[in-house]
Structures are given as C-alpha cells and as structure tokens.
Chains A and B, each alone.
Chain A
Amino acid sequence: DARVTQTPRHKVTEMGQEVTMRCQPILGHNTVFWYRQTMMQGLELLAYFRNRAPLDDSGMPKDRFSAEMPDATLATLKIQPSEPRDSAVYFCASGSYYTEAFFGQGTRLTVV
C-alpha cells in the first residue's frame, strides 16, 4: 500500500537549533506539498514542488525556512534557527496531476 513517509514523527528541540524534516513521496507522484498545522492558524501551505522544482513557497518564512527536493524520492524542510512559534505539526503530501493529495503522518515539532 503506497504511502507518504515522514520522519521523524516527533521532534523536541531547543530554540536556536536546526531542524530537518524529511518526506518520501509516493513513487510516481510529481507534486509534493509541505503544510503546517496549528490550532491557531489551521492548515497552512508552506511550499509545493512539481517535478522537483519549487512552484510556490510564498507561505514559508524565507529567513529561517528552506525546502528542497534533492531527488524524486526525498523532500526536506529545514528550519534554522528554530523558534518556539515554529511548534506545530508539519505535513508532507504528494500527488500527481490527476490525483488527490496523499498525506503523510506528519512530524510533530516542539521547540522549547
């Protein structure tokens, strides 16, 4: 059963530390999304890629966040330096031109 895999599932880190979240999209999907979900803001699109190229990262704070797809099987979201307000659940989703988005289980990030 194909699924989107995210690691780690949980991350607790101290303010100022670098955080890297990883996502393995479903094989054959050419679109990858990064979302952040909090109680206050709900579901926010941070960035999305098509065929590994970033198409829209306007939802991402550029000074500390970066998203990349070094290859078709890996997407990364990095926060450097992390801040307490970055605490959230980060979801990766993948899809193709003709399908819905399939979500990973998420990474629950806590910055203390």
Chain B
Amino acid sequence: AQSVSQHNHHVILSEAASLELGCNYSYGGTVNLFWYVQYPGQHLQLLLKYFSGDPLVKGIKGFEAEFIKSKFSFNLRKPSVQWSDTAEYFCAVNINAGNNRKLIWGLGTSLAVNP
C-alpha cells in the first residue's frame, strides 16, 4: 500500500541550528510532493511543492526540499531555524491511482525551536 513516512516525530533545536526533516514515500509511479506547516492553533499552510523540473525546490520562509527520485525521498531543509519555525510539519504525496489522484499524508513532525 502507498504510504508516506516521516522519520522524525519530534525535533528540538536551538535557534540558528540547521534543520532537516525526512520524508520517504512508497510508490513507484508519478508523484507530486508537498510540505505543509501548521503553526500552533492554525490550519495547514503550504510551505513548498514539487510537480516537475528542478528537484531542488525553494519555498517560503527560507525552506527548501530536494526530491531524490531514486530514494523516494523529499526531505525538508532550512539552514538556520528561528523560534517562529516552531510548528508541526507534514509531508504529503499526490499519487496517480488509476483514474484518480490520491493525497497521502505523513504523520507529521513536531518541531520546537528554543530561543
């Protein structure tokens, strides 16, 4: 069955530390990839997305992600985190399942950034 795995459930960092959150999916066909962020008490917002082209995608607030097709991965990175990056981060993969597209979500990674 198709699935999305986020390896880190909880991450605690100090400000200015570098961040990398892992995301792997299990599906051999064409995918679109997303990272969403959910700040405390808010709804999910798109951080960045990959549909095609350059596998290194830049999103908002200094985040970027790299699609490595051979590894079925789409890891999220930020060189220097801020306290305001404290949030829940979700990886999602849109797959082609027959005639339908299906959006599959990871369980999320909770990031706490200490000032």
Contacts and interface: CB of A to CB of B under 8 A. Distances in A.
A interacts with B: yes
Interface residues of B, number: 19
B34 A100 contact: yes
A33 B103 contact: yes
Interface residues of A, number: 21
A100 B46 contact: yes
A106 B92 CA distance: 19
A105 interface: yes
B100 A43 contact: no
Interface in B34-57: 34, 36, 42-46, 49, 51
Interface string A63-107: 000000000000000000000000000010101011011111110
A91 B101 contact: no
Interface in A22-50: 31, 33, 42-43, 45, 48, 50
Given A42-B108, A43-B90, A43-B108, A103 B43 contact: yes
B107 interface: yes
B63 interface: no
A43 B49 contact: no
A22 B92 CA distance: 24
12 contacts: A42-B107, A95-B103, A97-B101, A98-B51, A100-B32, A103-B36, A103-B44, A103-B45, A104-B43, A105-B42, A105-B43, A106-B43
